[in-house]
């Protein structure tokens, strides 16, 4: 039987019931962590029988968390499922860390590591209340996280470019790094012309994520397998924007290698084009959204062509 599919005598999957069950198992796990930690917080230590009972209760709580996670079918969305899996993993790893802390702690006292580990389990278990409740909310969360990272990368590069000829000006001069007159530590005018087009691609990345995020918020639905799959496709490809922006930004620092910049720019442009194509053919882009898709597609092509022109004679 596929995960989440009703078997004989089993009711069909319902998201609200799943969230209730997951919340309960996380709460029980938090309580078991507290009981375990208190039992080993001061002498006398629990008896062998009590230790066995504590171990069984902890094991049952963790098995219940894992079991409920596996109730969530992939058909509800791979983006949502990954976020629930990550939260579940944190709870399990937190309990392992707490158990290790207790096993390695001095018998006489409550160790700092045990206190921290207990708090870590509580925090991991509380995360269930912040998890997105369906795949549309999960994709919104994933896109917003990517947008935040890309915004930071764009601001950092803008700051470096306006600081002057020396992007390493805040690093002290020494013989190993080289003096600030060294060609390896500043941008030439040719470099800056190339980098302005790269900045155009980075800004297009930010605009692309911002617009796709707004479209998913406004029009995204998790009411059918087709819509859920479209949202996952969009999240998967959009997830490639941030690392591609980072790779391009790293290659933009002096000494500039035009070939490396061009390759990284081409990779980012390809990712952005795919994002825009997938968005355009999905349910999150009704006719009212087509204008910005067309505009950003043109902006990506324009800046990539400029990068090609600036690097033509330097490769």
Report whether 28 contacts 64 (CB < 8 A): yes
Closest CA to 72 of 138, 18, 126: 18
| Cα–Cα distance, 179 to 173 (Å, whole number) | 6
pLDDT at 162: 84
pLDDT at 315: 55
| Cα–Cα distance, 78 to 306 (Å, whole number) | 37
Helix, strand or coil, per DSSP, at residue 311: helix
CA 18, 16, 140: angle at the middle one, nearest 5?
Answer: 95
| Cα–Cα distance, 276 to 298 (Å, whole number) | 11
pLDDT at 156: 94
| Cα–Cα distance, 190 to 121 (Å, whole number) | 54
Whether domain 135-166+175-311 has CATH 3.20.20.80: the reply is: no
**From the first residue on, what is the mean pLDDT of each consecutive set of 10 residues in the chain (315 residues)?**
46 92 98 95 89 97 97 97 98 96 78 93 97 98 98 94 61 48 72 94 98 98 97 98 97 94 98 98 96 98 96 73
CATH number listed for the domain at residues 15-130: 1.20.1420.10
Radius of gyration in angstroms for the set of CA atoms belonging to the chain, rounded to a whole number: 26
Report whether 195 contacts 160 (CB < 8 A): no
Torsions phi, psi for 24 (to 5 deg) = -65, -45
Q: Where, residue-wise, is CATH 1.20.1420.10 in the chain?
A: 15-130
pLDDT at 179: 47
pLDDT at 108: 63
Could you tell me the end-to-end alpha-carbon distance of the chain, in angstroms, rounded to an integer?
A: 57
Q: Where, residue-wise, is CATH 1.20.1410.10 in the chain?
A: 135-166+175-311
Question: Residues 105, 109, 111, 116: what is their CA dihedral angle, to the nearest 10 degrees?
Answer: 120
pLDDT at 172: 45
Looking at residue 10, the DSSP 8-state letter turns out to be: -
Q: b/e map of 27-65 (b: 16 or more CB within 10 Å)?
A: ebbbebbeebbeebeeeeeeeeeeeeebeebbeebbebb
pTM value? 0.87
């Amino acid at each position: 039987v596929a995960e989440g599919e009703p078997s004989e005598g089993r009711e069909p999957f319902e998201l609200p019931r799943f969230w209730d069950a997951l919340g309960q198992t996380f709460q029980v796990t938090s309580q078991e962590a507290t009981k375990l930690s208190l039992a080993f917080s001061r002498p006398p230590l629990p008896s062998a029988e009590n230790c066995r009972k504590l171990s069984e209760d902890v094991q049952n709580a963790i098995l219940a968390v894992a079991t409920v996670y596996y109730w969530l079918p992939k058909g509800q969305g791979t983006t949502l499922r990954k976020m629930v899996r990550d939260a579940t993993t944190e709870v399990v790893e937190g309990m392992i860390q707490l158990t290790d802390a207790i096993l390695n702690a001095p018998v006489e006292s409550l160790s700092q590591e045990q206190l921290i580990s207990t708090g870590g389990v509580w925090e991991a278990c509380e995360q269930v209340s912040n998890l997105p409740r369906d795949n549309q909310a999960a994709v919104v969360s994933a896109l917003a996280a990517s947008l935040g990272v890309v915004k930071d990368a764009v601001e950092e590069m803008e700051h470096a470019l306006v600081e002057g000829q020396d992007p390493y000006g805040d690093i002290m001069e020494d013989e190993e790094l080289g003096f600030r007159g060294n060609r390896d530590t500043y941008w030439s005018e040719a470099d800056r012309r190339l980098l302005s087009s790269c900045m155009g691609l980075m800004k297009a990345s930010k605009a692309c994520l911002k617009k796709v995020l707004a479209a998913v918020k406004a029009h995204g639905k998790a009411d059918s397998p087709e819509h859920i799959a479209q949202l996952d496709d969009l999240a998967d490809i959009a997830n490639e924007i941030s690392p591609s922006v980072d790779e391009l930004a790293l290659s933009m620092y002096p000494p500039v290698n035009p070939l490396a910049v061009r390759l990284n720019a081409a990779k980012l442009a390809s990712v952005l084009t795919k994002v825009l194509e997938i968005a355009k053919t999905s349910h999150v882009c009704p006719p009212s959204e087509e204008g910005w898709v067309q505009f950003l597609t043109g902006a990506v092509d324009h800046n990539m062509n400029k990068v090609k022109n600036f690097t033509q004679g330097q490769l």
